[in-house]
Amino acid sequence: MNMPTNRYCIKLGGESGQGINTLGILLSKAIKSLGYDIFSYREYPSLIKGGVASYQIDFSNKYISSSSQNCNILTILDPEAVHEYLHSLNPNGILLYDDSKVEFSPEEQGWITQNQIHVIYLDSEKIAVEAGGSSIMANIVMTSFLWKLLGFNPNDLANIVKEIFASKGEEIINKNILCLNAGYNTSEFKEEYTQKTYIPNLPSEKKDSKILTGNDAIALGAISAGVRAYYGYPMTPATSIFKYLGNTYKETGILIKQAESEITAVQMAMGSMAMGTRALTATSGGGFDLMQETISCAGITETPLVIVLAQRIGAGTGVPTWTGSSDIHTAVKSGHGEFPKAVLCVSDIQSGYILIQQAFNIAETYQIPVIVLTEKQIAESIFTVETLPRALQIQRGTYNGENRYEITNTGISPRWIPSFDKKPYLNNSDEHNQASQSTENMDEIREMSDKRMQKQSTLLNNLPEPVLYGNPQAQTVLVGCGSTKNPILDAISEGMNIAYLHYEYLFPTRTQTLLNLVSSGKRIILVENNQTGELGKILTEASGYQFKEKILKYNGKPLFLEDILNIQI
């Protein structure tokens, strides 16, 4: 197996509800504060409490945006997690655990010996209590011991502990600091442990960077887009958009409304957009299914509508807390009947911030529904970002024509906003003529259908081609969208001699760059986080090209950096 270079990976494992996420955020912030770029990735079960969970942090002195398959240090807070995650350690890795009841099977013991794993047991609960803290603060003891294994200064970790627990009060902060110092300075630490850690050198200059999740970026983009209302119904992994906007509503003035269902949420969003107020809703697969009729209604009434579809793996309820990109077809084919729409696909912080703004501009300019795809791997993972792109100029489209559905060369009719003038306004989901009156006249039905679909062609002509990354002379070209971009670009950064064709605008679909690569004799490989190659089918439908090689992963885990590095080229 090809191993990543110039990056280091630590993983925390324990029982879900044991504080793994808090410790992961603590370490992510602390490592970032040293000047490293980080990428943090969570695995957790679809339960309120119980089961095992993990938090993985990759860090480097250069930009990274993907997870490694294996880690260098595994810190375990629960016996079951030892058995779940042991084999995720790299050879010569370190296993740190704090439960004396852990018993390794003969197979596990043999694997530990074969891979020269250094096993460290630490009675963290005892250390925490003796330091003046409570048994629950054993987590901080383990974290500070890990921090010493990494060779970092305890003051840097203490600063973030104070920040994380600021709302808990001075007494709790002080007890956590006591436990931190006790864990860092325990006599259980041996200098030989540090010989097994090979940390990337700190960057020569500390960057003024911040850490954000993909959903944070979408929420920030929505604020910059001038969104004035958010209507939602909680559904993983879209919920944190709701949470971010809810936590900032006093500063932004955005109306936040939890509806009783996804149907109500999307209809409220469409109603607000019809009245001229930018509004957003977000959901996942099952909730998006409930929105189909409203999407179709927006299509025929030519009402702008923006929906974030945060994907997870599986049909039905599926596996709510694991990742995948199996709703691409659902988005492109959403809504009954034929009408124009657009589908955009987020891949990282920058695209999350910009594409949600672009979605509103497209929705209002072309008066169509726009679906913005993301996925759990992007939505909930933490990226490092120095600066966000400049916000886009808000484009609201054209206004105040003679007829609401006036036929034009572009298919775009001048838009009416109710109450802007004294003209009567009719908006319903029946077929209509140019004056918005319901019709069953065959000529008018065809005429209005053609008018609406003309917008699809107009939009396609104004969309950019997909972006080609890497070496344009490389013989092997990977094609993908969404989170697949990140391990591929990290592999290119590692020196892998490939190119990557990345799609952000999935529908309507531009294919000239793809066809140029095909005609030049390149080896083309489709890379997707689903079972059937859904992006590939859309590209085939638009271009006629049939993908001969595919890398498809659909077990709930993201594409790791090693998945790309091990492609034979």
Q: Contact at 8 Å (CB) between 180 and 140?
A: yes
Residue 92: what pLDDT?
Answer: 93
Q: Contact at 8 Å (CB) between 12 and 26?
A: no
With a cut of 80, say whether residue 6 has pLDDT above it.
yes
pLDDT tier, 415 (very low <50, low <70, confident <90, very high otherwise): confident
Please state, in angstroms and rounded to a whole number, the distance separating the CA atoms of residues 345 and 356.
Answer: 10
Give percent of the chain above pLDDT 90.
87
Which value, to the nearest 10 degrees, does the dihedral of the CA atoms of residues 333, 334, 335, 340 take? Answer: -70
Fill in the DSSP letter of residue 434.
Answer: T
pLDDT tier, 528 (very low <50, low <70, confident <90, very high otherwise): very high
Residue 4: what pLDDT?
Answer: 80
With a cut of 80, say whether residue 170 has pLDDT above it.
yes
Instruction: Please write down the HEC assignment for all residues of 243-298.
Output: HHHHHCHHHHCCEEEECCCHHHHHHHHHHHHHCCCCEEEEECHHHHHHCHHHHHHH
Instruction: Give the mean model confidence (pLDDT) for residues 254-261.
Output: 98
pLDDT tier, 419 (very low <50, low <70, confident <90, very high otherwise): confident
Please state, in angstroms and rounded to a whole number, the distance separating the CA atoms of residues 549 and 540.
Answer: 13
For the chain, which domains are there?
A: 8-207 (3.40.920.10), 211-385 (3.40.50.970), 398-462 (no CATH), 467-565 (3.40.50.920)
Residue 16: what pLDDT?
Answer: 85
Q: Contact at 8 Å (CB) between 556 and 324?
A: yes
Q: Contact at 8 Å (CB) between 474 and 494?
A: no
pLDDT tier, 196 (very low <50, low <70, confident <90, very high otherwise): low
With a cut of 80, say whether residue 420 has pLDDT above it.
no
Please state, in angstroms and rounded to a whole number, the distance separating the CA atoms of residues 508 and 463.
Answer: 8
Instruction: Give the mean model confidence (pLDDT) for residues 504-527.
Output: 98
**In which residue are the tokens 């060369």 written?**
409
Q: Contact at 8 Å (CB) between 499 and 469?
A: yes
Please state, in angstroms and rounded to a whole number, the distance separating the CA atoms of residues 353 and 223.
Answer: 10
Burial of 195 (0-12, 13-18, 19+ CB in 10 A): exposed
For residue 228, what are its two tokens?
Answer: 């004035």
**Strand 37-43 versus strand 382-385 pairing type:** antiparallel
CA 239 remoteness from chain centre: 12
Average pLDDT, the chain: 95
Please state, in angstroms and rounded to a whole number, the distance separating the CA atoms of residues 477 and 326.
Answer: 22
pLDDT tier, 421 (very low <50, low <70, confident <90, very high otherwise): low
How far are the Cα atoms of 3, 58, 90, 149, 498 from residue 495, in angstroms, in the given order? 12, 18, 21, 29, 9
Q: Which of the pair, 361 or 6, is modelled with greater confidence? A: 361
139: three-class secondary structure by DSSP: helix
pLDDT tier, 1 (very low <50, low <70, confident <90, very high otherwise): low
Alpha helices in 73-123 (DSSP H): 79-85, 106-114
Which value, to the nearest 10 degrees, does the dihedral of the CA atoms of residues 442, 446, 452, 454 take? Answer: -160
With a cut of 80, say whether residue 204 has pLDDT above it.
no
pLDDT tier, 195 (very low <50, low <70, confident <90, very high otherwise): low
**In which residue are the tokens 């990226």 written?**
383
User: pTM value?
Assistant: 0.96
DSSP 497-510: --EEEEESEEES--
Tens of pLDDT, residues 343-395: 999 999 999 999 999 999 999 999 999 999 999 999 999 999 999 999 999 99
**In which residue are the tokens 């490694």 written?**
68
Please state, in angstroms and rounded to a whole number, the distance separating the CA atoms of residues 273 and 130.
Answer: 60
Contacts of 460 (CB under 8 A, 6+ apart): 508, 509, 510
CA 117 remoteness from chain centre: 33
With a cut of 80, say whether residue 557 has pLDDT above it.
yes
How far are the Cα atoms of 45, 75, 76, 300 from residue 14, in angstroms, in the given order? 11, 9, 6, 51
Residue 76 phi/psi, 5° resolution? -115, 135
pLDDT tier, 17 (very low <50, low <70, confident <90, very high otherwise): confident
Tens of pLDDT, residues 452-489: 999 999 999 999 999 999 999 999 999 999 999 999 99
